[in-house]
Structure 1
Amino acid sequence: MQSVGDVLKQQLVRTGRLLGDGRGWTLLVVAAGWLSILGGRYLFPVVLPQVRRFFGVNNAAAGTAITVLWAGYALMQFPAGALTDRLGERRLLTGSLLIGATAIVAVSFAPTFWLFVVGCGLFGLGTGLYGPARGIVISRKFGEHDGTAIGVVLATGSIGSATIPLLASRFVDSIGWQPTVGMLVVPFLLVGIGVWVVVSQPPTDPDGSGSSLKLLETVRTAVTRRAVAIATTAVTLMLFVVQGLTAFLPTYLVMVKGLEQTTAAGLFSLFFLSGAVCQSLAGNAADRFGSPTVLMSVAGVSVVPLLALPFVEGPVPLGVVTVLLGSRLAINPVSNAYIIAVLPDAVQGTAWGFLRTSFFLLAATGSTVVGALFDAQLANTAIVGLAVLTAVATGLYVFLPVRTAVDSGST
């Protein structure tokens, strides 16, 4: 039986073979952009205690700010997908990072809570341009090995989710939450320049192709295919759980488990570091063993740590559970590659953007729901509820057809 080290070594060798013909630079800058965006997004839960005290709001209100961020991200997915088809990935990726940098400045200087919320919404809208273009450019560049490449990109994002909030937790008490958030402007601007220089611009169709009615009908047919419907419903549930969990995991560890904020931030980082390892392995595993098997296995296994979390005490046991919780992030690269692959090329960007708007918008409510349960002193009930939703997603993945069957048009 191979050790984890051997598997990771094989993964690195496999990934290295995919980086010729300039693809390595594309992978690097796209991954760096995703690292900055995810790191910024998950910085907000870490600074929420300071934000709550600064503006004098409760958990439900703070959760609403995170929901608005995610809702803005979700609402931008459909137009971003359509714009990717018409303008190309380079313009969308660069524009996303520049708008994100502008939003960071707005959040950092917000004088009232509701202007802070508006800034969060702008951050969501701006960074929402990135996701569809990121998936399409990687799929276009890496072809049948897209699962591995997307896994690398999302794993890099998870590293950002781990390291940036952890660094923020070290600074937030000494310099305040506004300068801590504001420092994110630098990587956003630098990576934006890198993306513009490196990413190639494919042929685009600025005027659209065919009539709008025909386009909408093609998109409708694409997104209602059985494989797409099952995968989208399941990933919506998984994202709802991730959103609710990550928005309040640091708060839960401090308020319910009695940990110091720096310790809670460290465990929060473990969640994403674990996710990074699992994402890099899952993309490769899906390329080898099939997406349905990997999705069902990851979802099923990730039920267990959620059920265990309310009953575990102490930093070390909680650290173990947190590492296991992070394994659920392996869903993302596999689900993304699967859905993109089974969508028609002619409307791939538009249909993918529409689906991302749908599942991210629904999932965005997770933080508000969990925040309300926390205010009602039902934190552990919220965690168990998230486990139940994960179990439902596992059941859906049982019925997911293999990718080759979908590609051949049999489902």
Structure 2
Amino acid sequence: MSHLEPRDPAEPRIPTDPDEPPVETVPDAVPSASREKVPEAIKVLIAAAFVIALGYGIVAPVLPQFASSFGVGVAAASAVISAFALCRLVFAPVSGTVVNRLGERPTYLIGLIVVALSSAATAFAQTYWQLLVFRGLGGIGSTMFTVSAMGLIVRLSPRTMRGRVSGYYATAFLLGGILGPVLGGALAGLGMHAPFLIYAAALFVAVLVVWLRLKDETLGARRGAATQPVMRVRDALDAGAYRAALASSFSTGWTAMGVRVALVPLLATQIVGEGPAVAGLALALFAVGNACALTVTGRLTDRWGRKPLVLTGLVVCGVATIGVGLSSTVVAFAVLSLLAGVGSGTLNPGQQAAVADVIGPDRAGGKVLSRYQMCADAGQIAGPIIAGALADAAGFGWAFGVSGALMLIAALAWLPVRETAPDATRTETKE
């Protein structure tokens, strides 16, 4: 075929680069992404994600200060965030086996219950070490419901709307994140214990939603998964997009999930000169920027491809993060937090859709997904500890500067990556 001739959308496209994964094509009979409906099982996961994020957002503004109330420094207070991620990281390889043996729905429910009980126990911690242990145990349950949910989303998402589904799921988390930190800051007057109990209650609500609504669709997916070939991690690593996604996942875990939650409340208190209310506002603005970006970038990821949105998001989030550490006024602090959220919301749908493209709907990718999640957890572990130590030794400017630089380095990893979005998908969406 001449390079000047248009390609038939139904004709398979053969990758010309060893780093490029096989690309799925969409036959003419498949409806466009804009006309497809989101599967009911994914709607249930989206609703549960909102409830989970709402509870976590309530805890986020007070967690580092609760740790500081035991008389520890910034690094030790930040380690409470890392303990949660450490248990997620350690248990992640096992979570895939648990899903295969119990099924997605039981694994999801057990994970939520474990996190709920951990949060309730955290509220009654009497020492710093009890707080560290109770919070860390919640990470085991967290990785259980995270990996099972990711597997379902990859398998059940129509291939022409993977970006949209990733955007919807992330938006649910962030809408909860918009309300959660604001409520958490307002509830600070009730004491350090109340937010953790409210978080536990929110998780039990999510358990109820999933228990009642996520039934036949999930069980059918599990039966179908039994005959699917398993994708090995080494096969996924042959794809440049997966390797780049691991790098950006690590930097996002470090900066957007770790340092943001651990150091922003402390920066608000020590540098900007305000308390939990402003810390909650900054976290909420990050979530607002994230959610606003997701309303657009999910569809754009399916239309323009994964790579352009990921690159843009990494650069915006990285530069804004560096600026947050240099803030000296509430206005600058708030605006840069908002921009960092916009960057994070721009990159996430493309990053997750690229991983889904590499796996595809016809292969079991539990181990591939767990390694992807482990990179985010590793960043969330290392970020608060190392950035917290930098803040103690050299100031918050260095802590946030290094964190933002990691996002820019991850952007460099995406530059040579071949686009993974099926050409037919992008053609249909434009039409």
User: Counterpart of 1:235 in structure 2: which amino acid?
Assistant: S
Q: Distance in 2 between matches of 1:307 and 1:233?
A: 19
Residue in structure 2 matching 1:237, options 221, 231, 251: 251
- For residue 63 of structure 1, what is the aligned residue in structure 2? 78
The 3 A distance-change label for structure 1 pair 372 and 36 is farther
Deviations 1:320-378 (A, max 9, x none): 21110111322223211211220264331222113312442244210111111222242
Residue in structure 2 matching 1:202, options 215, 220, 229: 220
Matched, 1:93 2:111: no
User: Counterpart of 2:244 in structure 1: which amino acid?
Assistant: I
TM-score (normalizing by structure 1): 0.85
Q: Distance in 2 between matches of 1:136 and 1:401?
A: 24
- For residue 301 of structure 2, what is the aligned residue in structure 1? 286
> 1:271 Cα shift?
0.8
Q: How does 1:224-263 map to 2 (within 5 A)?
A: 224-242=238-256, 243-263=258-278
User: Counterpart of 2:302 in structure 1: which amino acid?
Assistant: D
- Percent identity, aligned pairs only, is 21
Contact 2:51–2:205, Cα closer than 8 Å, also in 1:
no
Deviations 1:235-265 (A, max 9, x none): 2123212222332112112211222331221
Please say which of residues 87-96 and 302-311 is displaced more in the overlay: 302-311
- For residue 378 of structure 2, what is the aligned residue in structure 1? 361
Contact 2:163–2:350, Cα closer than 8 Å, also in 1:
yes
Segments of structure 1 that go 5 or more residues without pairing to the other structure are 1-13
Q: How does 1:24-103 map to 2 (within 5 A)?
A: 24=40, 26-48=41-63, 50-103=65-118
> 1:85 Cα shift?
4.1
Deviations 1:58-117 (A, max 9, x none): 211111111011122233333223433443322222222111111111111222211111
User: Counterpart of 1:27 in structure 2: which amino acid?
Assistant: I
Contact 1:240–1:363, Cα closer than 8 Å, also in 2:
yes
Segments of structure 2 that go 5 or more residues without pairing to the other structure are 1-31, 425-431
Contact 1:93–1:129, Cα closer than 8 Å, also in 2:
yes
Contact 2:252–2:379, Cα closer than 8 Å, also in 1:
no
> 1:148 Cα shift?
0.4
The 3 A distance-change label for structure 1 pair 337 and 293 is same
Residue in structure 1 matching 2:143, options 128, 147, 170: 128
TM-score (normalizing by structure 2): 0.81
The 3 A distance-change label for structure 1 pair 40 and 61 is farther
SS at match of 2:365: helix
Please say which of residues 341-350 and 293-302 is displaced more in the overlay: 341-350
Matched, 1:107 2:136: no
> 1:165 Cα shift?
2.2
> 1:287 Cα shift?
0.6
Instruction: Give the length in aligned residue pairs.
Output: 386
The 3 A distance-change label for structure 1 pair 78 and 33 is farther
Q: Distance in 1 between matches of 2:296 and 2:63?
A: 32
Contact 2:298–2:350, Cα closer than 8 Å, also in 1:
yes
Contact 2:253–2:380, Cα closer than 8 Å, also in 1:
yes
User: Counterpart of 2:392 in structure 1: which amino acid?
Assistant: D
- For residue 350 of structure 2, what is the aligned residue in structure 1? 334
- For residue 182 of structure 1, what is the aligned residue in structure 2? 197
Contact 1:39–1:157, Cα closer than 8 Å, also in 2:
yes
Matched, 1:318 2:333: yes
- For residue 183 of structure 2, what is the aligned residue in structure 1? 167
Q: Distance in 2 between matches of 1:355 and 1:311?
A: 31
Q: Distance in 2 between matches of 1:159 and 1:321?
A: 19
> 1:191 Cα shift?
1.6
Please say which of residues 196-205 and 247-256 is displaced more in the overlay: 196-205
Residue in structure 2 matching 1:267, options 263, 266, 282: 282
- For residue 363 of structure 2, what is the aligned residue in structure 1? 346
Contact 1:109–1:178, Cα closer than 8 Å, also in 2:
yes
Q: Distance in 1 between matches of 2:99 and 2:58?
A: 28
Q: Distance in 2 between matches of 1:379 and 1:404?
A: 39
- For residue 116 of structure 1, what is the aligned residue in structure 2? 131
The 3 A distance-change label for structure 1 pair 359 and 307 is closer
- For residue 234 of structure 2, what is the aligned residue in structure 1? 220
Q: Distance in 1 between matches of 2:343 and 2:310?
A: 9
